[in-house]
Structure 1
Amino acid sequence: MTTHTRPRTAPPNPWLVLAGLSLGVLVTNGLARFAYSLILPAMRNDLGWSYAQAGWLNTANAMGYILGALGTMMALRWISPNRLFSVGLITTVLAITATGVLPDLWWQSLWRFLTGGAGALSFATAGTLAARLFADDPKRSALGIGILFGSGGGTAIMLIGATLPPMLGAWGDAAWPWAWVITGGIGALCLPLGLWSARATRTPRAPIPTSGPLPWRRMLPELAGYAGFGLGYIVYLTFLSAWMAEQDASTLQVALVWVLLGLCITLSPLIWRGVFARHSGGRPLAMVLTAIALGSALPVLWPGLGGLLVSALVFGGSVFMAPPAITTFTRRNLPAESWGRAISLFTVVFAVAQTIGPYAAGILGDYAGSIGASLLAASALLLIGAGIALRQRSL
């Protein structure tokens, strides 16, 4: 009797899968969150917003992020991470596009909230999916995780930095709705490969993890350091263009700084991969936060285009390396069945801290009469976080 066996399908190229997951990060962490900074000056001028109102919208985004991160932690017990990644990616693209439809603050708050919630689903699961690709190779895993967060977000910032400032400069402040529609269209182009990568990482559904509770008390320095990251980094990426508008920077200068920022973010994994591969405690996160703090303060301490360019180099070379730092820490210190829950816990802590940052920074900017005071305050918070993270020891 002849038996027929189904030929085995060759596993997909892990680097191609990683590219698709990076496109998910490009949408959920790049376009969804940071396009707002470039569109904000036009929205403020056209709609007459204060800095506090402008900051509130990113706070609404962060509140959605909290809900999405908490939902991810709970949903991972019943729903696979690749499915959560896909749902979050599709919903984020729709919410970005809808942001250009209605100008009222209430509607804008709703779209930013939904963008944050859906983005958290994809962002919190992307690291878990990427960690599976090179599970037996620490060096390639560290590089892959760095590429996931760095290339996706950096490419997004280069795209919007090269596109949105010239468009708004030519069409005027009233064209800000079209900026959101264009941003959503870029996100839609990323869907096919991103969704394919999520399917390619699908594994048989595992039972509810039985590894016990996370050792969160022993992880407190790393958690607190990541909270400092959430408090501080978002101020720069929310108000950088507003600070440049205060300094009468030209459209070309704004585009140049943002493209350089995105390029440095894209290349940053090559700078930090050795650090992540060598250390399993809190030193990598502490080093990253120190560099972000310096980059945040430079535009104020060194006014002018030179300071902005150096700031973009330093900030861009470090800002998206905080998520790889905690992902690598999780991978090296916890069993594989705990990775999803641990990364989701870090995401919740980060999201709560991120909620406070933009609105508080906007109030401080209104009070001081300049958003530069908020950039310096953010730098101080990042340095405090770095000091705490340095106390984290390997588990």
Structure 2
Amino acid sequence: MTSAKSTNPWLILLGLALGVSISNAFGRFAYGLILPSMKSSLGWSLTQSGWLNTANSIGYIVGSILTLLLIRHVSPSRLFAGGTVATAFCLLATGFDESLVFQTVCRTLVGLFGALSFVSGGVLAASLFQSSARKNALAIALYFGGGGGFGIALCGASLPPMLDVFGPQSWDWAWIGLGITALVICPFSIWASAMLSETEHNAELPSIPPVRRMLGELSGYGLFGLGYIVYVTFISVWMKEQHSSVLLTTATWMILGFSIMVSPFVWRGVLARFAPGTPLALILSGVAFGSALPILVPNGVGLILSALVFGLSVFMPPTAVTSFVRQNVNQPDWGATVSFFTVVFAISQALGPIGAGIIGDITGEIGDSLVVASVVLLVGALFAAMQKPLRREAM
């Protein structure tokens, strides 16, 4: 097998990042774009709409736990490749049956396999550029933000016009198109993971993460999961309620995607410099502000600014956490520790969509849920700000 040393590591990183396009952009964010058409065509309530992303998050919980268990015995490269391919097939299947039960199964499996891909890919990205802290921080940030931003921009450019031209009943073809696109990407991502097949992973029982000493970072990351998913799930529904044009919807999501792609360069200095919870605290403040902007400035300018601010921040919390783990935990325990953080994140993320849907059904305004989510994110920023660096043994 070809060694990563003989291959351009940035090319390997590109392949890994495209896996995030599948696991997160297609698997999680695209639902927010397709949801208005599904809700209209299938007659769903806000609670039912939120439930499907909660189902996705439940799958993510299971996938995170599986990663935590499997990464002791299976290399991160195999977990990444298997999770990426399985996610692509589940996305494709989502377009073949409109029943809520079938949709629940598909969204759950997309979350499960997406977690296997996303978490293990983060471990692989963190293994690049070990001799340079700045390059390593940039690689981690580009993994989370680059591929995700590209995928979201692609969805934003294609899905709203397609659904507008062919009508809301064409939502099934949106999922089929995403599945086919994901399968086209898969070979490159599999190749990239194969180049890092010898990345260290702990075959024995990993050290138990020092939970009590990481409570600030853990709490901040958990509240991030609870808050950000509300915007991702319901912003397009809110825009439809405000009678936003297809052009504005497309522009908002494309700006969101491009902002995510740029975000690693905005935050790389902060991520490389600070070992405590400072990066996560600053990033969560940006996510909170971006979430509230559509309500604070309820017009096209507010939406564009919201997409810009939210996009510059939303993919960076996983980067901040992975960077925190890299700087504070021994390398053989990276996979288990990142998986532990992801389980906490996934549990809180599962509560966000259905909770927001219930609030929206009660008040009759989904915008109220966006405000609540913003407050939750600010509380998360306060917790993260209290996180101190861990004393670590020689790495």
TM beyond 0.5: yes
Residues 1:239 and 2:223 are matched in the alignment: no
Amino acid of the structure 2 residue aligned with 1:275: V
Cα distance in 1 for residues equivalent to 2:314 and 2:327: 21
Aligned-residue offset at 1:178: 0.3
Question: Secondary structure, in 3 states, of the residue corresponding to 2:57?
Answer: helix
Cα distance in 2 for residues equivalent to 1:235 and 1:156: 19
Residues 1:99 and 2:114 are matched in the alignment: no
Task: Give TM-score, length-normalised by structure 1.
Answer: 0.97
Superposed counterparts of 1:37-186, under 5 Å: 37-186=32-181
* Contact 1:228 1:382 (8 Å CA) reproduced: yes
Inter-CA distance 9–191: structure 2 relative to 1 (3 Å threshold): closer
Superposed counterparts of 1:317-356, under 5 Å: 317-356=312-351
Superposed counterparts of 1:373-392, under 5 Å: 373-392=368-387
Aligned-residue offset at 1:133: 1.1
What is the number of residues matched between the two proteins?
A: 390
Inter-CA distance 174–210: structure 2 relative to 1 (3 Å threshold): closer
Aligned-residue offset at 1:240: 0.7
Aligned-residue offset at 1:188: 1.2
Amino acid of the structure 2 residue aligned with 1:70: I
Inter-CA distance 325–240: structure 2 relative to 1 (3 Å threshold): same
Amino acid of the structure 2 residue aligned with 1:160: C
Cα distance in 1 for residues equivalent to 2:232 and 2:4: 43
* Contact 1:209 1:337 (8 Å CA) reproduced: no
Deviations 1:96-127 (A, max 9, x none): 01110000000000000000000000111111
Q: Determine what percentage of the aligned residue pairs are the same residue.
A: 48
Name the residue aligned to 2:281.
286
Which of structure 1's runs of 4+ aligned residues deviate more than 6 A? 6-9
Cα distance in 2 for residues equivalent to 1:373 and 1:92: 32
Deviations 1:150-187 (A, max 9, x none): 11110011000000000000000110000001111111
Cα distance in 1 for residues equivalent to 2:172 and 2:123: 35
Name the residue aligned to 1:297.
292
Question: Secondary structure, in 3 states, of the residue corresponding to 1:90?
Answer: helix
Inter-CA distance 7–81: structure 2 relative to 1 (3 Å threshold): closer
* Contact 1:101 1:177 (8 Å CA) reproduced: yes
Aligned-residue offset at 1:216: 1.6
Which protein shows a greater Rg? Answer: 1
Cα distance in 2 for residues equivalent to 1:44 and 1:368: 18
* Contact 2:3 2:196 (8 Å CA) reproduced: no
Amino acid of the structure 2 residue aligned with 1:331: R
Amino acid of the structure 1 residue aligned with 2:114: G
Deviations 1:62-93 (A, max 9, x none): 00000000000000111111101011001000
Aligned-residue offset at 1:214: 1.8
Residues 1:358 and 2:353 are matched in the alignment: yes
Question: Secondary structure, in 3 states, of the residue corresponding to 1:249?
Answer: coil
Inter-CA distance 90–173: structure 2 relative to 1 (3 Å threshold): same
Amino acid of the structure 2 residue aligned with 1:50: S
Structure 1: give runs of 5+ residues left out of the alignment.
1-5
Q: Which of 335, 357, 370 in structure 1 is aligned with 2:365?
A: 370
Name the residue aligned to 2:18.
23
Name the residue aligned to 1:3.
none
Amino acid of the structure 2 residue aligned with 1:188: L
Amino acid of the structure 1 residue aligned with 2:337: A
Cα distance in 1 for residues equivalent to 2:299 and 2:93: 36
Aligned-residue offset at 1:211: 6.2
Inter-CA distance 207–53: structure 2 relative to 1 (3 Å threshold): closer
Cα distance in 2 for residues equivalent to 1:139 and 1:206: 23
* Contact 2:252 2:303 (8 Å CA) reproduced: yes
Task: Give TM-score, length-normalised by structure 2.
Answer: 0.97
Name the residue aligned to 1:192.
187
* Contact 2:76 2:201 (8 Å CA) reproduced: no
Name the residue aligned to 2:249.
254
Name the residue aligned to 2:223.
228
Aligned-residue offset at 1:10: 5.7
